[in-house]
Amino acid sequence: MTNNEILRRIQHALNLKNAQIIKAIEQADVTVAHDQVINWLKADNDKSCSKMKDKELAVFLNGFINLKRGKKEGAQPKPEVALTNNMIFMKLRIALNMKAEDVLDVLEVVGISLSKYEIGAYFRKPENKNYKVCEDQLLCDFLNGVQFTNRPDSEEFAG
């Protein structure tokens, strides 16, 4: 999945307005133009779509954590230059204040059954022997589960 698709899926799953995305980014002490957000949210095949870099998605996710959980005093964490699905999954879990059981419940909504041990493997450090790589499909399923949990009347995300 592209970063743009991930942002679109987050926006759809949580019913975020463009202004809320901008506010989240500002919570990470970064300013962004409204037009830039609009261009990130355009379909990937749209000529005016602007490719979102890993660092830009990391800024949004860090700001989203601040927006949802409260901004910590002092300097903000430096955004990662390279993001993995595991990092995105972890940041979303933190922002949404979810424990492992909550993540399992969300995945259960979309028919994914994992154990607490299995889900924990996605949140470990990469050098840990029990670390497991989060594939696009699991991240997509998680976002669909979040959508169905937060917006039960919504249709499946079409992209």
pLDDT tens by residue, 129-158 = 999 999 999 999 999 999 999 877 766 544
Same domain (yes/no): 111, 146: yes
Domain for residue 69, yes or no? yes
Ranges of residues in the chain with a pLDDT under 70 are: 154-159
Q: What's the pLDDT score for residue 122?
A: 97
Please tell me whether residues 7 and 77 are part of one structural domain. Answer: yes
**Residues 74 and 102 grouped into a single domain:** no
Tell me if residue 46 falls in helix, strand or coil.
coil
Token pair in block for residue 110? 């979309």
Residue 76 lies in a domain: yes
Q: In terms of domains, do 13 and 47 share one? A: yes
pLDDT value at residue 10: 97
Residue 157 lies in a domain: no
Q: Which of 56, 83, 110 marks a domain boundary?
A: 83
Residue 155 has what pLDDT? 64
* Mean pLDDT over the full length of the chain: 93
What's the confidence (pLDDT) of residue 87?
98
CA-to-CA distance for 98 and 120, rounded, in angstroms?
12
Q: Are residues 72 and 128 in the same domain?
A: no
Q: Is residue 125 part of a domain?
A: yes
Beta-carbon contacts of 111 under 8 Å, excluding residues fewer than 6 positions away, are: none
Q: Taking a C-beta distance cutoff of 8 angstroms, is the pair 122, 93 a contact?
A: no
Domain count across the chain: 2
Helical (H) or strand (E) element with 80: none
Range of the domain at 74: 1-83
